[in-house]
Structure 1
Amino acid sequence: MDEAAAATGADPLDLRARNAIPAAAFPWRTAFGATYDSADYAALIAAARTESGWDDIAARREAAASRGALYGRGAALFTEVAGGGAAAQDEAKVTLSTVGGRAVARIETVTGGSGQSQAETYAFILARETGLDPADIELVASPSDCRLTGAGSIGSRSTVSAGSAVADAGGRLRERLLALAGLRANEAPEDLAIASGAILRRDGSPVMTLAEAVAASGGEIAVTGVKPVAATFPSGCHIAEVEIDRETGLVRLTRYVAADDSGVLVNPVVAEGQIHGGIVQGVGGVLGEGMRYDSAGQPLTGSFMDYTMPRAADVPGFITLDLPTPSPNNPLGAKGLGEAGTTGALPAVANAVADALRQIGAALPPLPCTPLRVWEAIRAAEF
């Protein structure tokens, strides 16, 4: 899209906006049979445009030129699929018991975390449904005796699918607890509520604690929640800006704005961290990360002495914007976001490098854009 904009003299964001599906047209069935659940691409573009100072690029180009540097910007408007999987459904088992007079819960799923803070996220979901203290909720991923079904932690699906199954289990558990308390208090379950570890009447007076409810049920209550698999389609508009040293070919990322639609965020702090990590991975893929081999197929990049990964000094502070359109495909309204940062950063940063080089008629070299490759592209254009 950036190349098309350069060839036609169009503004890259305006060109994307003209080709974007309108928000009112969702759900949108594509020619390939996928059905996009929800999005507002125009809002993403507008927010990223404002926060990035898109229309003030000339001043930054001139400042860079005064230092003998090239300055470029690049955009990416993307939609990706997340939350699917090979299994027909995801299940989550919740077991409520007591320890030391307190009600505690154990969540079992077939998703295993690798840094996504699943324990905290699932605990928050269950606590919201049951009134439990999140500190009293434990996650056990894929125990050896697990008989649950699910597609695991792949494709940005953990919260969307397993998290929704946890929410379903929490709802079933809440119904069980309210029914039990209703019999004890001679009250209709719908006239009762759960909060702060107790079951309450409408006037706020307690019927029983959750620990007492567990004891009345024989010491344990177990329920299994189910979520049929259904894909979500997160989207975003990312804008990157880079400065290139013409003498060395070194590319420096100077600005980055990420406007993302990841649906309803269950854990905003974790979500922002995943966006940051994904962006850095995309930056690395464009500016340095690449495997090299000799003529016999022996890897030459076998350690981090040879394989370049971005460090903190290689990236600026990111501006992240959350513009959710809830997904109708799960009860949380969530969409997958584990790959969103990388999906946006790869094209945005590559487009920024291409835009900087375009100022002198140089072509984007093959990725990764190492200083040597960029320097060679500059020299080819100059001579």
Structure 2
Amino acid sequence: QADRVVKQRMIHQRLTPMAIEPRGCVASWHAGEGALTLYTSTQIPHLVRTLLPEMIGVPENKIRVVAPEVGGGFGAKLNLYAEESLVSHLAMRLGAPVKWIESRREHASATIHGRDQIGEYEVAVKKDGSLLGIKAKAIADLGAYCQLNTPAIPTLTGLMLTGCYKCKAVRMDLIGVYTHKMATDAYRGAGRPEATYVIERLMDLIADELDLDPAAVRLKNFPKPSEFPFPTATGLTYDSGNYPGALKKAQKLADWPRLLKQRDAARRRGKLFGVGLSTYVEICALGPSKMMSAGGWEWGCVRIEMSAKVTVITGATPHGQGQETSFAQIAADRLGMPIEDVVVMSGDTAVAHYGRDTYGSRATAIGGTAIVMCIEKILAKARSLAAHLLGVPVKRVEFRDGTFFVKGNPKKAVGWKQIAPEAYVAKNIPPDWEPGLEASSFFEPPNCTYPFGTHIVAVEIDRETGEVSIVRYIAVDDCGHQVNPLLVEGQVQGGIAHSIGQSLFERTVYDENGQLLTGEFMDYPMPRAKDIPEYLMGSTVTPSPSNPMGIKGVGEAGTIGATPAIANAVIDALSPLGIRHLDLPLTPEKIWRALQPAKPSAL
């Protein structure tokens, strides 16, 4: 059926997460209680508590794990590492607290790495640009051994390989290989950046091969908003989406016709100017337990204290995502209280008794929903107490802005400051009414969520040095309803910064003897302040049906959407010279060598 088969070999280079704070842990053994307390720089204190007992022989209910502020995680701290069990064992043997702090070189060599796939990709298309099928053969370098999710990460690449396009058939042959390198595992995006990079580079190659407009090729292959929930060829069901809407909004923000005219004018002046586009979808709120190795639910607890202050406890473990703020907003908004009256607690298994922690852009979509479930239980219970205090049937009581009042008579009302003490003193409560205002909930999501968006990038390349300058950056992301737009924007900006590093600078290098060569900041270049452009950001809102708040997640969106947009812009700038593809990172040296007339194919 295909009029053309477009082929390309692509390399996803190995990356080092390089969190600003390396890992560290402190263990303390309480001999009299036979109990262990472990403070550790981790994203997953609850999973550490689940996995550690088999390693050190201490029961789970005798282990307390505390995750303080961890100074950046990005997936690298989504693991149980040997050092956590070692310091625990030594603390038990020595009868004294034991501390271990990772050096920068240790972090580069012994904390998980990301990406590292090599693949041959083929896409079958009709002459009008319609996508028919994708075939992939990929080798994933897993490193020397498996960490928590090592073999699962490359499979996510295959799962999302069709991107946000209609595709009748897909096949991916994946081979995992062991090498003398550090293990790979989840690193911001975890398999999805590779998939998006592949399909978005292929869409540009299709447009180039068929002499079509890259944006038009994408629009042609998008499912319509009315086609959601949308089943994919890989077996997923995308929850909701309006891909054309995000693309068109991004083009409007970028002033697309003017941007293309700017490119054409620059080229007439001899400049290497390019415009790149990426339309992405990702899988987030990783949660249905049937697809997760250790359960995908999340737990939360909400308690209204006797003083009418609110304590929110979450099994999610925020470490920069801002749930201390957003969860307080959720509680304050639904309970009708000042946000200053809400305290959010997390990261300590002695306080948050259950949890599946934070990764996969899941904390608000799943953990926030567990909090909402708790609040609904408390409101129902408080309504019956309010009815008793007001002397009316429950069905006549309404709630708004922190006040329970009689329908039709809003002056006959009680607020939290009256209800909360009565709930705990318990001298004037309904028959069979359990004292207290506390509820806990487990939320089991019916499906993952699928955020999407469009990123547009304009770049200029210095002919003499090969250096890439990002002239404009436009991002439109759809993560469903936003609890706190400022936090959303911060997450997207941070994700884009990661992608700028992957696209233009970063590569983890070992020599032929297995010796790491990029173990310090001097050897592992990352983007600096001068490399970060001014962002023009927007959003669309397409609620997810998978949770009551309609939230999708946004922690990895920037990383997934940005890399192919930057790469496509650079290749577009080089396309007048006949350069069709260069592998990442697009360093000045690599581009300079490609520009040399004597070696036009030195990629």
Q: TM-score, normalised by structure 1?
A: 0.93
Tell me by how many angstroms 1:370 deviates: 0.8
Shift of 1:294: 2.7
Match of 1:309 in 2: 526
Q: Distance in 1 between matches of 2:263 and 2:541?
A: 33
String of CA shifts for 1:37-85, please: whole Å, max 9, x gaps: 1001111111112222222344322453466430111111111110023
Q: Is the 8 A contact 1:92 1:165 kept in 2?
A: yes
Q: Residues 38 and 253 of structure 1: is their aligned pair in 2 closer, same or farther, counting only changes over 3 Å?
A: same
Change over 3 Å in CA distance of 1:63–1:199 after alignment to 2: same
Residues 32 and 382 of structure 1, relative CA distance in 2, 3 Å threshold: closer
Measure how far apart 1:249 and its partner are: 0.3
Looking at structure 2, the residues matched to 305 and 209 of structure 1 have their Cα atoms a distance apart, in angstroms, of 60
**Within the alignment, does 1:366 sit opposite 2:571 as a pair?**
no
Q: Who is 2:240 aligned against? A: 38
**Larger CA deviation: 283-292 vs 53-62:** 53-62
- In the other structure, the counterpart of 1:59 is 261
2:457 to 240, 243, 246: 240
1:207 equivalenced with 2:413 (yes/no) = yes
- Say yes or no: does 1:71 pair with 2:277: no
Q: Which moved more, 1:64-73 or 1:210-219?
A: 64-73
Residues of 2 paired with 1:22 and 1:11: CA distance?
A: 19
**In the superposition, relative to structure 1, how do residues 47 and 300 fare at CA in structure 2: closer, same or farther (>3 Å)?**
same
Q: What secondary structure is seen at the aligned counterpart in 2 of 1:127?
A: helix
Cα contact 1:242–1:356 (8 A) shared by 2: yes
1:91 equivalent to 2:299? Answer yes
Tell me what 1:272 maps to. 489
Alignment check: 8 A CA contact 1:133 1:196 kept: no
Aligned partner of residue 231 in structure 1, secondary structure: coil
Amino acid at match of 2:318: G
Deviations 1:323-364 (A, max 9, x none): 111111100001011111111001110111111111211243
Alpha-carbon shift at residue 375 of structure 1 (Å): 0.5
Q: Which moved more, 1:197-206 or 1:217-226?
A: 197-206
Specify the alignment match of 1:249 in structure 2.
Answer: 466
Amino acid at match of 2:207: A
CA pair 177-119 structure 1, distance change in 2 beyond 3 A: same
Q: Which residue type is aligned with residue 356 of structure 1?
A: A
| 8 A Cα contact 2:278 2:455, kept in partner | yes
State yes or no: 1:17 paired with 2:222.
Answer: no
Deviation at 1:382, TM superposition (A): 9.5
1:166-225 Cα deviation digits (max 9, x unpaired): 111111111111211111002344544445554344544263331331211126421013
Q: Secondary structure in 1 aligned to 2:546?
A: coil
Equivalent residues in 2 for 1:281-300, closer than 5 Å = 281-300=498-517
Matched, 1:224 2:440: yes
Rounded to whole Å, the distance in 2 between the matches of 1:120 and 1:155 is 19
Which residue of the partner structure matches residue 4 of structure 1? Answer: 206
Query: Are residues 78 and 304 of structure 1, via their aligned partners in 2, closer, same or farther at CA, if it must alter by over 3 Å?
Result: same
Do residues 116 (structure 1) and 116 (structure 2) align? no
- Please give the alpha-carbon distance, in whole angstroms, between the structure 2 residues aligned to 1:126 and 1:277: 27
Shift of 1:121: 0.5
Aligned position for 1:47: 249
Higher RCO (CA 8 Å, separation ≥ 6 residues): 1
CA distance in 2, matches of 1:269, 1:188: 43
Give yes or no for the alignment of 1:137 onto 2:342.
Answer: yes
1:333 aligns with 2:550: yes
Verify the 8 A CA contact 2:281 2:450 in the aligned structure 1: yes
Confirm or deny: 8 A CA contact 1:132 1:195 kept in the other structure: no
Matched residues in 2 for 1:124 and 1:29: separation? 34
Query: What is the distance in 2 between the residues matched to 1:88 and 1:292?
Result: 35
Amino acid at match of 1:75: L
**Structure number having the greater helix percentage:** 1
The aligned amino acid for 2:497 is V
Please give the alpha-carbon distance, in whole angstroms, between the structure 1 residues aligned to 2:581 and 2:529.
Answer: 25
Aligned-partner SS, 1:217 = helix
Bigger Cα displacement from structure 2, 9-18 vs 139-148: 139-148
> How far 1:299 moved relative to its partner?
2.2
CA distance in 2, matches of 1:66, 1:42: 32
SS in 1 for 2:309: strand
Q: 1:160 aligns with which of 328, 344, 365?
A: 365
Contact kept, 8 Å, 1:27 with 1:37, in 2: the verdict is yes
Q: Which amino acid aligns with 1:269?
A: L
Measure, in 2, the Cα distance between the counterparts of 1:209 and 1:8.
67
> Which is further off, 184-193 or 279-288?
184-193
Kindly indicate whether the alpha-carbon contact (under 8 Å) linking 2:345 and 2:352 is maintained by their aligned counterparts in 1.
Answer: no
The answer for unaligned runs of 5 or more in structure 1 is none
Whichever residue aligns with residue 256 of structure 2, its letter is W
Deviation of 1:304 after TM superposition, in Å, equals 1.9
Q: 1:178 aligns with which of 376, 383, 398?
A: 383
Counterpart in the other structure of 1:381: 600
Shift of 1:296: 2.5
Aligned Cα root-mean-square deviation (Å): 2.0
Q: Percent identity?
A: 34
Conserved? CA contact 1:288–1:309, under 8 Å:
yes
The worse-fitting range, judged by mean Cα deviation, of 14-23 and 48-57 is 48-57
Show CA shifts across 1:14-53 (max 9, x none).
0000000000010111222211110011111111122222
Cα separation, partners in 2 of 1:304 and 1:265, compared to 1, 3 Å: same
- The two structures have a TM-score, normalised by structure 2, of 0.60
- Contact 2:284 / 2:553 at 8 angstroms: preserved in 1? yes
Letter in 2 for 1:225: S
Q: Distance in 2 between matches of 1:95 and 1:58?
A: 56
How many residues align? The count is 380
Structure 2: which amino acid aligns with 1:96? I
Equivalent positions of 1:143-154 (< 5 A) are 143-146=348-351, 148-154=353-359
